[in-house]
Amino acid sequence: MKKAVLVILAIAASVAALAVWQQLAPSRLTAAQQEEQRQAAQDMEAIEAARQETLNDAADLPEEAPAAEPQQEEEEPVAQEAQNITDQDVLHVKFATSKGDVVVELHRDWAPRGVERLVELIRTGYYQDAKFFRVVTRPRPFVVQFGIAADPAVSAMWRERTIQDDPVKESNVAGTLTYAMAGPNTRTTQLFINLSDNRNLDGMGFAPIGKVVEGMDVVRSFNDQYQDAPTSRQMQIQSQGNAFLDGQFPGLDYITSATFVAWSPAEKDEEEAASDETAEESAE
């Protein structure tokens, strides 16, 4: 449409120029030229009429909408729970196990080096499928120990990565989580949960890093048929992983995942209350 308008305007301009020339020298025109002049004038009138019609049609066309500015996607607000929970002074880890969930509350002020190492291990997925290979309940409840990786190649990566000791600030009472060690500054990946008060470990340098706040009943239900027997076979466990344990000590309970969670006692109380109500309704 635009090209047609431009052509018409160009022709009109040429005719107009011819008319101006004719006005400047009318006495030189012959009869034939005058006839041509009249024909040109008529042509110019026709062209002008066509131009006006074209312009009118163009005016009736809808205007092209301006290109819409690209809309920027609004960033969703970051939920409070999505913030880096591991930077908190008190954080919670949920160990999902073959017997149920266990939630441990970690305290940086109790043992900052120990907590930081555990955070690092959990981020890498180190404890997935790790067995609770030492469950000592006789002659008295003692400890549940874990922390040798299911894959021996993973264990080998961490075996020599020891951390410095933390001062003992809390006592090894029932439910506390503490690193196992073979002497000063030898902590790596193995941990144990105290099944009863083992305060004698305090003076030996075993520094608790946290405590079980949910699922202690789950901890007490772990398979204890082998008691302390696997402890003396730790070299084989390290070198062969779960393949050795499954062959020599089948049926051990294990960790399916370890994740950081938001947890509060109020939530736990609500869950227990709801569970009690459900049980009462079922009894009725």
pLDDT tens per residue, range 212-245? 999 999 999 999 999 999 999 999 999 999 999 9
Does 139 sit behind a cis peptide bond, omega within 30 degrees of 0 on the bond before it? yes
Asked if residue 68 is part of any domain, the answer here is no
Whether 125 contacts 180, CB under 8 Å:
no
Mark whether 55 and 95 lie in a shared domain.
no
Q: Indicate whether 54 and 149 sit together in one domain.
A: no
Q: How far apart are CA 137 and CA 261, in angstroms?
A: 29
The answer on 211 and 253 residing in a single domain is yes
Question: The CATH number of the domain where 155 resides is what?
Answer: 2.40.100.10
- Domain that includes residue 39, residue range: 2-59
Answer for the pair 227, 136: CB distance below 8 angstroms, yes or no. Answer: yes
- The total of structural domains in the chain comes to 2
**Span 52-80, average pLDDT:** 43
Would 75 be classed as within a structural domain?
no
Beta bridge partners of 93: 104, 260
Say yes or no: 109 and 49 in one domain: no
Cβ(210)–Cβ(176) below 8 Å = yes
Pair (255, 189) in one structural domain = yes
Number of Cβ atoms within 10 Å of the Cβ of 226:
19
Flag whether 244 is in a domain. Answer: yes
Averaged pLDDT, 268-284: 51
pLDDT of residue 103: 98
Query: Considering the domain boundaries, does residue 103 fall inside one?
Result: yes
Beta strands in 131-242 (DSSP E): 134-135, 143-146, 176-179, 191-194, 208-214
- Give the model confidence (pLDDT) of 168-193 as tens digits: 999 999 999 999 999 999 999 999 99
pTM over the 0.75 mark? no
At residue 43 the predicted structure's pLDDT band, cuts being 50, 70 and 90, is: low
Shared domain for 46 and 90, answered yes or no, is no
- Give 265's pLDDT tier (boundaries 50, 70, 90): confident
87 pLDDT band, cuts 50/70/90, is confident
Residue 271 lies in a domain: no
Per-residue pLDDT at 13 exceeds 80: no
224 and 178 belong to one structural domain:
yes
Between CA 119 and CA 126, with CA 121 as vertex, the angle to 5 degrees is: 145
Instruction: Note whether 10 and 120 are same-domain residues.
Output: no
Residue 272 lies in a domain: no
Q: What is the mean pLDDT of residues 43-49?
A: 60
Query: Is the pLDDT at 101 greater than 50, yes or no?
Result: yes
pLDDT for res 232? 95
